[in-house]
Structure 1
């Protein structure tokens, strides 16, 4: 689902991206679209600029025997496979995360006890004025599913540190993680992944447990429904519209607040 945007710009290379940013002169709001795997986009026209980085931002290379540099358009799974081919451990969890390096850094994506912050050394980014900057990971105030970095930054590339590990062991762990994920979460259907963040510090329960206690899993708005396999995943059964999915998100949020007193925060990015 999702409609049009006032301006859609696909950056072919850094030089062209800088030229474009200087042309729009910081006069309009910008949304950087990564893989789109955790994004809910309005069906009406978005009044701003959506920027997408081309495949020219998806290069990878070894800086040293345990450090990988990856463009922000590199897929998370692709990065994990590149690490495996170079016998580098620590990247296995990325094989289970849909999306790209840029989006993963922005939201500090993670699963099975590991997050982007655990492997990140530094990022190279560009601000809305077209200035390229480098930010060391130690200067980033990472939190659960949040990097705290400005929305005005466009990530270009990042360096990651792993450790030497037998590639067969890496492959075995990646296979085990994939099987674990497929048992617990819906796959190969229309979903934006986890809808809400776990309420860290507010409850010992996971968000799916709070939803299960507060809402009838059969509840739906149009073709927007709650997954039977994992109730923090909301599904488009076929023809759901943006307004249907938004209604479902708001309905579940209100029900959980009324039942538990906990105000849920969305993990998915809503573009409207």
Structure 2
């Protein structure tokens, strides 16, 4: 692809960009190209002019992601500060850039006296990622608060999609392949900032107590199977603390995988597959990956 005449950009375009520093697991290969657009128009113009056969993938905080060791072909789009703004539209509504973090969204809601978005405090990602994945925690998910989102399609066309166009199910949406979420509008309810902060503090304390937050991890590894909690079936199958190389099933919360130091992405993904195999053999439950796995093996 390096022989292609890539469209001109106003943002930053980097060839063979290492992705390990940008993802929570700190493992994996490089992006063939990493594009950090200056603004929505820059992204739209770039995708319009890009060969339609070149694959495009969005990257947020890299929290819920395994980048395979052979890297990611095509273009990885990372939305930076230009996409991290949060604007209050009215007494209960915020418009948030696709690069805004869950912590920024929930804090902005608190400052605006808007309740109902506190759960985003605990989602380790950006608006673009958790709108695509219907991210959620503590009994709430994106579909409960989303009004609409703006996306740039792989063709470069800009489109606004209402909630009912996204086909949300548990940790899944029907967003088109290669579409990049550049903003989302969320609606909560009027609330006292102190009450919103108290709920955010409660959620933060619950996460701190139960999850290995200071580790190189990817967040929840598997979706909760119908009628079960993923961590419980993993624990029952004897997988707590299981290791492959420097990859380990967390002792603290066994639906989290950890990179203890120098694990490769193959180690981490292989450990996840071993957990799936042992759970299937023990209980017959089929665990489904929640973490995205992208790129090619080395």
**Normalising by the residue count of structure 2, what TM-score does the alignment of the two structures yield?**
0.88
Q: 2:33 aligns with which of 7, 11, 29?
A: 7
SS of residue matched to 1:122? strand
Question: What whole-Å deviation, never above 9, does each CA across 1:150-182 have from its counterpart, x for those lacking one?
Answer: 222111111111111111111111111111111
How far apart are residue 25 of structure 1 and its match?
2.6
Aligned CA-pair RMSD: 1.1
Contact 1:37 1:192 in 2 (8 A): yes
SS of residue matched to 1:20? helix
How far apart are residue 125 of structure 1 and its match?
0.7
Tell me how far apart the structure 1 counterparts of residues 241 and 253 of structure 2 sit (CA, whole Å).
13
How far apart are residue 85 of structure 1 and its match?
0.4
Q: How does 1:12-31 map to 2 (within 5 A)?
A: 12-31=38-57
**Normalising by the residue count of structure 1, what TM-score does the alignment of the two structures yield?**
0.96
Contact 1:31 1:49 in 2 (8 A): yes
Q: 1:228 aligns with which of 243, 251, 254?
A: 251
Contact 1:39 1:271 in 2 (8 A): yes
Equivalence for 2:18: none
How far apart are residue 100 of structure 1 and its match?
0.5
Moved more, 218-227 or 13-22: 13-22
Equivalence for 1:108: 134
Tell me how far apart the structure 2 counterparts of residues 46 and 70 of structure 1 sit (CA, whole Å).
28
Tell me how far apart the structure 2 counterparts of residues 226 and 128 of structure 1 sit (CA, whole Å).
36
How far apart are residue 216 of structure 1 and its match?
3.4
Tell me how far apart the structure 1 counterparts of residues 145 and 241 of structure 2 sit (CA, whole Å).
40
Contact 2:153 2:176 in 1 (8 A): no
Equivalence for 2:283: 260
Tell me how far apart the structure 2 counterparts of residues 147 and 135 of structure 1 sit (CA, whole Å).
12
Question: What whole-Å deviation, never above 9, does each CA across 1:65-102 have from its counterpart, x for those lacking one?
Answer: 11111111001110000000011000111111111011
In the alignment, structure 1 residue 238 sits paired with structure 2 residue 264: no
Consecutive unaligned residues of structure 1, counting only runs of 5 or more, are: none
Equivalence for 1:250: 273
Moved more, 31-40 or 21-30: 21-30
Equivalence for 2:113: 87
Equivalence for 2:233: 210
Equivalence for 1:196: 222
How far apart are residue 218 of structure 1 and its match?
3.2
Equivalence for 1:147: 173
How far apart are residue 33 of structure 1 and its match?
0.5
Tell me how far apart the structure 1 counterparts of residues 45 and 143 of structure 2 sit (CA, whole Å).
31
Tell me how far apart the structure 2 counterparts of residues 242 and 136 of structure 1 sit (CA, whole Å).
36
Tell me how far apart the structure 1 counterparts of residues 213 and 60 of structure 2 sit (CA, whole Å).
20
SS of residue matched to 1:35? coil
Tell me how far apart the structure 1 counterparts of residues 103 and 180 of structure 2 sit (CA, whole Å).
21
Equivalence for 1:60: 86
Contact 1:25 1:129 in 2 (8 A): no
Consecutive unaligned residues of structure 2, counting only runs of 5 or more, are: 1-26
Equivalence for 1:137: 163
Tell me how far apart the structure 2 counterparts of residues 211 and 138 of structure 1 sit (CA, whole Å).
34
How far apart are residue 149 of structure 1 and its match?
1.5
In the alignment, structure 1 residue 32 sits paired with structure 2 residue 58: yes
Q: Aligned in 2, Cα 1:218/1:177: closer, same or farther, shift over 3 Å?
A: closer
